[in-house]
Amino acid sequence: MSRKGFIKVQRIDAVARETTIAEAEGIISELWDDMNNYKSDMSLYPDIFLCVGGRIMDYSSMPSKENITNVIATELDEFLPTDRAIIIAAKNGL
């Protein structure tokens, strides 16, 4: 939800965790593993959203955990390690 109260993302089968910027990468890694959806011979990766302040950063459709952690690490440089964040991971299905 934005600061004005508009719902920007709505998902089912999701998990949200409150954390700090310093702990965000570890939480994202845990949620990535927990929310990974295995179907037959394929793996459907979760969509990850990071909320800091009034910003919602969308990392859905990332091809690997390494990609998402690299992108997030560079984007979180502008925040203090003690800043609060909410991480949302949503399962994907067919």
Q: Provide the 3-class DSSP secondary structure of residue 72.
A: helix
pLDDT at 43 (0 to 100): 81
Q: Identify the H or E element spanning 87.
A: strand 84-90
Average pLDDT over residues 37-62: 85
Over residues 6-39, the pLDDT tens digits come to: 666 667 788 999 999 999 999 999 999 998 887 7
What's the confidence (pLDDT) of residue 64?
A: 87
The whole-model pTM stands at: 0.82
